[in-house]
Chains A and B, each alone.
Chain A
Amino acid sequence: EAAVTQSPRNKVAVTGGKVTLSCNQTNNHNNMYWYRQDTGHGLRLIHYSYGAGSTEKGDIPDGYKASRPSQENFSLILELATPSQTSVYFCASGDAASGDGNTLYFGEGSRLIVV
C-alpha cells in the first residue's frame, strides 16, 4: 500500500510567522504535489515536483514556496503566513510513467490555522 505521511497534522500559526509543512513518501514515486482544500474550491494545486531538486508552480503558488531535497521528501513553506492561508493542505505522490494516467496517493492532510 502506498504511504504518504505529513507533519504536522495540525498547526496554529501567527500572522507573519513562518510555517513549514513536511511530506514523506515511501512509494518511490517521481512526482509529488501540494494541494490545498477549501469548501467551494475543491483541491487546488500549489506546487509540484518531478523529482529531487525540481519544483514547479501550480495554479495558486503565490505566498508559497516548495522544496524537494530528495525523492522521498517534499516541503511546503509559508514564509509570511496570512489568515487567508488557513486551510487543509494535502500532499500527494504519483507516477505518471505508469502509462495509464497519473494516480495520486494522498497523505492524511495538515490542518493549518493562521491567527
Chain B
Amino acid sequence: GDSVTQTEGLVTLTEGLPVMLNCTYQSTYSPFLFWYVQHLNEAPKLLLKSFTDNKRPEHQGFHATLHKSSSSFHLQKSSAQLSDSALYYCALSERNYGSSGNKLIFGIGTLLSVKP
C-alpha cells in the first residue's frame, strides 16, 4: 500500500543554517504530496503542496520539489529561524479519487529544533 517515510525523528540546527527534511514515498498512482507543520500545542496546518505541473511550491521561505524518479519531496529552507521550530509532517494523497483516493497518509513526522 501507499506509504510515506521520514527518516529523521529529530533535527537540531543552529539559527541561520539551511534546513532539509527528508521525505520519500511509495504510491500506486502519481500522488499529490504535502508538507504540514504543527507548532507546539497547535493543530497541524498546511505548509505547502505539490502542483499538478512542474512548479516548485514555496511558502514562508520553505520550498519542496517533487522528484518522481526518486519518489521524494524533501523540504528545504535556506536559513533556519527560531520560529521554525515545530513538528513537520510529509503526507500524500492519491490522484485517483476512487474508494481510497481521498485519504491523506502521513509520515511519522520530523521534529525540527532551531537553537540560537
Contact = CB atoms under 8 A, between A and B. Distances in A.
A43 B89 contact: yes
B85 interface: no
Contacts of B32: 100-102
A6 B97 CA distance: 27
A41 B34 CA distance: 18
B42 A48 contact: no
Contacts of A33: 104
Interface range, A side: 20 to 34
Given A100-B49, A101-B49, A42 B109 contact: yes
Contacts of A40: 9, 108
A25 to B, nearest CB: 13
Interface string B95-110: 1010101111111110
B103 A58 contact: yes
Contact of A102 (B6, B51, B89, B102): B102
A31 B49 contact: no
B93 A102 contact: yes
A76 to B, nearest CB: 16
A45 B103 contact: yes
A57 to B, nearest CB: 10
A40 B9 CA distance: 8
A74 interface: no
A43 B102 contact: no
Contacts of A48: 102-103
B52 interface: yes
Interface of B: 6, 9, 32, 34, 36, 42-46, 49-52, 89, 91, 93, 95, 97, 99, 101-109
Interface of A: 4, 31, 33, 35, 40-45, 48, 50, 56, 58-59, 90, 92, 94, 96, 100-109
